[in-house]
Amino acid sequence: MRLLFLGDVVGRSGRTIVSERLPGLIADWKLDFVAANGENAAGGFGITEAIYQELCDAGTDVITLGNHAWDQREALVFIERAPKLIRPLNYPAGTPGKGSTIAQARNGARVCVINLMGRIFMDALDDPFAAVERELTACPLKHGCDAIVVDMHAETTSEKQSMAHMLDGRVSLVVGTHTHAPTSDERVLTGGTAFISDVGMCGNYDSVIGMAKEEPMRRFITKLPAARFEAATGPATLSGLAVEIDEATGLAQRVAPVRLGGVLSEARPGFWD
């Protein structure tokens, strides 16, 4: 099974490159499943129902969220009627929406996507390690589903790496999101789980983590806010992770970074060309 995970979609630039490039990638690479983090899709802060539909129309099968999940207040309502949208599993009981979903891939496989949020330098939520343990007990790989993708939305690499090692051999992919800067540690762990500490973002990298440079720089230099953050406009890079999954085991066989467009060096999965 061929799976593509797209990093945090940031603002209009990020949405544009996903809409322009993803349909062609699905056709050219014969992708079976596409997931993306959409928590920054609305001007860098949250997601709206119209943007949710835009990402779905481009070919995204599941959209995950994170610490900006509720920045657009309408998300608290429309998430209940958005089957492809999930928020972190470890939000407290009673939070709208759900933290995992099972979606059907183009090859007929059942893909479970789980969204988690870290707790180091982040909002204090429930324990993500305990939360995912309960979820995997209820829906283990190759019993309740054919593949499992975990989006670990977290600040620190240590927390993401710890989650990946705990889940090694039990899920297909643990992908780190949130920091918007792609790391180069993509690999298949010893137990067969694909992992990367951070997949990066779909957005304009001539920026400060996707925001127009001037205001973040001013705040670092003067310690005074002068304006609100605005998502950077201009050419974006589509950043993601390509994973080839063994349909017999549900574990990863090969993994490669994807970087297309914008200012970063291009990267493609050579095993799909």
CATH for 154: 3.60.21.10
Cβ atoms within 10 Å of 241's Cβ, excluding its own: 26
Q: Do residues 245 and 4 lie in contact, with contact meaning Cβ atoms separated by under 8 Å? A: no
In Å, how far from its chain's centre is CA 246? 21
| Beta strands 147-153 and 8-9, pairing class | unpaired
> CA-CA distance, 10 to 38, in Å (whole number)?
8
Share of residues in the chain with pLDDT > 90 (%): 96
Query: What number is the average pLDDT over the span 193-206?
Result: 98
How many domains, the chain? Answer: 1
The reported pTM is 0.96
Q: Give the residues across from 232 on adjacent strands.
A: none
Catalytic residues: 68
pLDDT given for residue 241 in this prediction: 98
Mean pLDDT of all residues in the chain?
96
Residue 253 pLDDT > 90, yes or no? yes
Cβ atoms within 10 Å of 165's Cβ, excluding its own: 15
Q: pLDDT tens, 141-195?
A: 999 899 999 999 999 999 999 999 999 999 999 999 999 999 999 999 999 999 9
Q: What confidence category does residue 227 fall into, taking pLDDT thresholds of 50, 70 and 90?
A: confident
Q: Do residues 258 and 240 lie in contact, with contact meaning Cβ atoms separated by under 8 Å? A: yes
Residue 263, sorted as left (phi over 0), alpha (psi -120 to 50) or beta, turns out to be alpha
pLDDT given for residue 190 in this prediction: 98
Residue 262's domain comprises 2-272
> CA-CA distance, 18 to 202, in Å (whole number)?
7
More confident site: 212 or 226: 212
